[in-house]
Structure formats: C-alpha cells, structure tokens
C-alpha cells in the first residue's frame, strides 16, 4: 500500500465500509438550466454538449436500473468491488421535478449492494424541496452532493459563463451541511485569467465553508465545447503537465487536513479530448503527485 499524504477518499471508504466500495457513474438523461435557456443557452464555456461535464460520449443511455446493473458488474470484474455508490454524474442531476428525481434516485439505490448516493449538480439548482428529497436518503445511505464550484472568484465565473455567483455556492454548501448531506466541491485548475494565488484563495474559501471533500480537475478542451474554438484561435493557455502537478501539491498543502480528496486529476473521454494530450495518462499523473509529495516530505494542510 502506498503511503498517503492526503486524505484519499478510497481509503476512507475502505475504512468506513470495511470492503471495496466504488462509484457507478450514471447518466440520468437530465438537462441543465445553463443550456435550456433558463439561466443560459450555450452552457459553461468548457462544457461538452454531449456529456455535460461528465465523461460519457453522448450516446443514448439505458435506464438507471440497467446502468447500475452493468456498472456494478464491470466494477466487480475489474476491481473486485463489493459495495457501490450510485453517482449521478452527467449534466445537472437536481434539475427536474421532485417526482422525477425521486424515481431516478430510488432506482439507483434499490440494489442491496448500494451503500451510497452521490448527486452532481450546480449550486443554484437546489430548491428547498429538492434538498428535502435528498435529505431523505441520508437515513439509509451515505449521501453526497457534488457541487460544481469551479472557482470562488466572481470574475472567473463570469468568464466561463457559469450563470451563478459565489454567493450561490456559499448558500448551497450551508444548506446541504445543515441537512446532514455531505458536500464535495469540484474545482477546476487552470481556468482563464486565474493564477496560483486565485486557485489558493478558492481552496481557502471552500475549506472555510466546511465542505467535506474536493475534486481537483484540470481544465481541458473537448471537441464540441465552446472552449475548443477559443483554443483553436490561440486564446487559451492550458497548464503544462509539470505545472499541474506542482499546482495540485501547493493546493493540497493549503487544504484543511480533514477534507477528503476524491480526485487529483480529471478524466476526459479520450475520443473527445482535444487538449492537453498529457491528460490521457491519468494514473501516471496521480503517481507523480504522490511521489513528489513524498520526495518533498510534505502533505495536505502543511502550509496552514
Ligand atoms: S452546469 Fe454543468 S452541465 Fe450545465 S452547462 Fe455547465 S458544465 Fe454543462
């Protein structure tokens, strides 16, 4: 077992459930208010219309029940997974009527082996009715909401056309925590106009809000996103591989030590990835981040 210098989520799950727990990624076929004209028409600058920031290719998806069955089967074969967290990943998974959402979530947790539910959404898409609905699952399941925070800098949110502000994020985190729902903040590194100081500020702010976990993502360009055009025109500088590794280590050092780390680097579907090419070998990047933490004898929270 590799030495852990940050609070790795997989280890936490292993300790909590005393077995191998894996997430089953689901596409519920929902839309997004930043795509259907409610908040915006074109989506966030980086969003791929086929996958909605998830990593599917936009093919028509089978039902949630079918996705759960085949997802669990695949994870059992590949990783000897024993228990599962149903992960609603693509697009905005709280964007629907409570009745529709309940049907989808119930289908996912109907399996005996499912111990948890994780729902990815936008901070401005959590009405009190939806919060009540999700809170209901905390009684029987390890329940998370994964919030697309991306940045805590207003100017950046405007640049990437998120359609919500920092206040919406703060309100969403507070409301979720009040209801006993665990919160994972998704943060994108290397967003246009941001430097290391801005990213560090975001990490400090989400730590102060009391999120339970973070996921770090590298900003990447997919074929059908609007960002692809910006990249093609030469108006986007992406982080280099080494720069990304150094940035993640710096941010880990500034992250509160009790916050779980669910992801160190994003996974892009290789068929739609335009750049950066180095993102294709995710495992090597994770290994290098972990090796560098060890070589520098540093760890999560070391700079606090
Ligand atoms: S909120 Fe998510 S699904 Fe909606 S446009 Fe932005 S990245 Fe895409």
CATH number reported for the structural domain that contains residue 73 in this entry = 3.20.20.70
Structure tokens at 126: 């959590």
- Give ligand 1 pocket residues (Cβ under 6 A): 32, 34-35, 43-44, 47, 52-53, 91-92, 122, 148
User: Which of 39, 45, 51, 92 for mutating ligand 1's site (highest number of atoms within 8 Å of CB)?
Assistant: 92
CA of 54 to the centre of ligand 1 (A): 9
> Could you tell me if residue 65 is inside a domain?
yes
The reply to whether 300 falls in a domain is: no
End-to-end CA distance of the chain, in Å? 27
Residue 213's domain spans which residues?
A: 9-295
Query: Tokens 């941010």 sit at which residue?
Result: 251
Between 3 and 225, residue with greater pLDDT: 225
182-203: average pLDDT: 98
Please report the pLDDT score of residue 16 as a whole number. Answer: 98
Nearest atom, ligand 1, residue 162 CA: 6
Give me the pLDDT at residue 55, please: 42
Contacts of residue 271, Cβ cutoff 8 Å, sequence gap at least 6: 57
List Cβ neighbours of 26 (8 Å cut-off, separation of 6 or more).
Answer: 64, 67, 68, 71, 86, 87, 88, 89, 90, 108
Q: How far is the CA of 42 from the centre of ligand 1 (A)?
A: 9
What does the pLDDT average to over 252-265? 98
Q: Of all residues in the chain, what percent carry a pLDDT higher than 90?
A: 92
Is position 153 within any domain?
yes
Distance CA 89, CA 64 (A): 12
C-alpha of residue 109 to centroid of ligand 1, in Å: 25
Q: Given phi > 0 = left and psi -120 to 50 = alpha, else beta, which region is 213?
A: beta
Please state, in angstroms and rounded to a whole number, the distance separating the CA atoms of residues 92 and 198.
26
Contact 144, 116 (CB under 8 A): yes
3-state secondary structure of 275: strand
- The phi, psi pair for 208, rounded to 5°, reads -65, -30
Give the residue-averaged pLDDT of 142-149: 98
Q: Is residue 303 part of a domain?
A: no
Q: Which of 91, 165, 172, 224 to mutate to test the pocket of ligand 1 (most atoms within 8 A of CB)?
A: 91
- Residue 219 is encoded by which pair of tokens? 């900003």
Give the pair of three-digit tokens for residue 19: 């077995």
Residue of 51, 52, 221 with the most ligand 1 atoms within 8 Å of its CB, for mutation: 52
Predicted TM-score of the model (pTM): 0.96
d(CA 191, CA 140): 38
- Give me the mean pLDDT over the 280-291 stretch: 96
Query: Taking 70 as the threshold, does the pLDDT of residue 245 lie above it?
Result: yes
Block residue for tokens 């964007």: 95
pLDDT band at 54 (very low <50, low <70, confident <90, very high): low
Strand, coil or helix: what is 80?
A: coil
Instruction: Tell me whether strands 114-121 and 83-88 are parallel, antiparallel or unpaired.
Output: parallel
Work out the angle at residue 53's Cα, subtended by the Cα atoms of residues 49 and 56, and round it to the nearest 5 degrees: 75
Q: State in Å: Cα 191 to ligand 1 middle.
A: 15
Does any domain span residue 131?
yes
User: Structurally, how many domains does the chain consist of?
Assistant: 1
């Amino acid at each position: 077992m590799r030495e852990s210098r940050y609070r790795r989520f997989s280890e936490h799950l292993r300790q909590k459930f005393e077995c191998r727990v894996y997430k089953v990624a689901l596409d519920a076929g929902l839309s997004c208010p930043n795509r259907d004209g409610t908040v915006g028409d074109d989506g966030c600058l980086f969003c791929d219309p086929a996958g909605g920031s998830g990593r599917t290719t936009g093919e028509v998806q089978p039902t949630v029940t079918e996705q759960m069955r085949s997802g669990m089967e695949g994870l059992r074969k590949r990783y000897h997974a024993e228990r599962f967290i149903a992960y609603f990943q693509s697009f905005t998974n709280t964007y629907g009527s409570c009745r529709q959402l309940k049907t989808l979530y119930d289908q996912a947790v109907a399996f005996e082996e499912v111990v948890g539910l994780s729902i990815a959404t936008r901070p401005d898409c959590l009405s009190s009715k939806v919060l009540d609905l999700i809170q209901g699952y905390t009684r029987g399941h390890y329940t998370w909401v994964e919030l697309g925070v991306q940045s805590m800098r207003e100017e950046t949110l405007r640049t990437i056309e998120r359609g919500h502000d920092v206040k919406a994020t703060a309100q969403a985190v507070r409301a979720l925590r009040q209801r006993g729902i665990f919160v994972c903040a998704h943060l994108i590194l290397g967003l246009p106009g941001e430097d290391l100081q801005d990213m560090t500020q975001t990490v400090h702010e989400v730590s102060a809000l009391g999120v339970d976990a973070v996921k770090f993502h590298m900003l990447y360009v997919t074929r059908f996103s609007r960002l692809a055009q910006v990249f093609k025109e030469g108006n986007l500088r992406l982080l280099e591989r080494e720069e990304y590794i150094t940035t993640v280590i710096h941010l880990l050092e500034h992250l509160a030590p009790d916050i779980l780390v669910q992801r160190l680097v994003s996974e892009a579907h290789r068929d739609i990835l335009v750049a950066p090419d180095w993102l294709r070998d995710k495992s090597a990047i994770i290994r290098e981040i972990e090796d560098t933490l060890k070589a520098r004898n540093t760890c999560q929270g070391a700079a606090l």
